[in-house]
Amino acid sequence: MAAAANDMFSRKACVVITGASRGLGKSVAKIFASKFPSTSLFILLSRNVSNLDVVKSEILENNPNLTIAVKKFDQGNLDQTIYDTLFDSVFKEYNVTADDFEQSVIVHNAGTLGDNTKYASDLSDVQTVQANFDMNVSGMILLNSQFLKKFSNSSKGRSVVHISSLVAIQPVPSFSLYCTGKAARDMFFRVMAVENPSIRVLNYAPGPCETDMQRACREDTLDRTTRDMFQAMHTEGNTLDCDTSINKLVELLQQDQYDSGAHIDFFDDIGGHIAKAKLDS
């Protein structure tokens, strides 16, 4: 399908991607880098800087003029100073300001399963439960606020993409922490979308993609039926390549027809969402 006239990929952007070191985040980084103007600035975040450096080098092979900042960032470390200074330090290092960009984009991709080796009734360890919500919910909210503070000009394009999951809307045995975190993230962004009509917000569920997390789903999941389901998906070849899913995300963003705050799954009929948005408008 053709891109919309205001295709976000045609405008110079500051693009922030969390969990860009591997899996879906790496795929977002590489594919987005090939789409945005080379005058854009990419900020790649995760705990593993060597992996981020590899992603950066791979991108630069094909897009040598792009500016890519890699920054060590642990979303589970809720130290106020880290959040307060993160974007300032990158902007200072690259000698840029928010005004240098036509738009800003953040992709909240970093995520963990929490603990898929236990049922909900056995989650008695304070540290495990707290770490799950620190990383998947609180840290993400705090980073998001810093991003919007940095890019506060509402007349410029601002897009927030949350890499969500089907589990945000479907309960799965052994996945109580993961499901709860994704549901909380989805709702957070739904609220943000109604509070800020000028920000384009998308909760994108990427489908089952071949990553470290997908392997942990089929190897570590306590619930037998759930584990069998993940194993069968893998052996029957029903998991997705990350790039396939992220190309669909690109298509959704290019078409720009989703309701802000919507939850859209890889397997959803994009045409259906466009039709609904038109009916509602």
Ligand X SMILES: NC(=O)c1ccc[n+]([C@@H]2O[C@H](COP(=O)([O-])OP(=O)(O)OC[C@H]3O[C@@H](n4cnc5c(N)ncnc54)[C@H](OP(=O)(O)O)[C@@H]3O)[C@@H](O)[C@H]2O)c1
Question: Where on the chain is the footprint of ligand X (CB under 6 A)?
Answer: 18-19, 21-25, 46-48, 51, 73-76, 109-112, 135, 163, 165, 205-206, 208-209, 211-214
- Taking the complex as a whole, the smallest distance from the CB of residue 103 to ligand X amounts, in Å, to 23
Closer residue to ligand X (CB): 53 or 102: 53
Name beta bridge partners: 71: 45
Distance CA 78, CA 55 (A): 26
Closer residue to ligand X (CB): 51 or 244: 51
Please provide residue 185's backbone torsions phi and psi, each rounded to the nearest 5 degrees: -65, -45
- Taking the complex as a whole, the smallest distance from the CB of residue 278 to ligand X amounts, in Å, to 28
Closer residue to ligand X (CB): 98 or 216: 216
- 240: which DSSP letter? B
Name beta bridge partners: 106: 16, 160
- Taking the complex as a whole, the smallest distance from the CB of residue 102 to ligand X amounts, in Å, to 27
- Taking the complex as a whole, the smallest distance from the CB of residue 172 to ligand X amounts, in Å, to 11
Burial of 106 (0-12, 13-18, 19+ CB in 10 A): buried
Closer residue to ligand X (CB): 8 or 70: 70
SS3 (DSSP) at 269:
coil
Residues 6 or more apart whose CB falls under 8 angstroms from that of 182 comprise: 111, 136, 164, 165, 167, 168
Q: How many residues does the chain have?
A: 281
- Taking the complex as a whole, the smallest distance from the CB of residue 239 to ligand X amounts, in Å, to 7
Closer residue to ligand X (CB): 7 or 53: 53
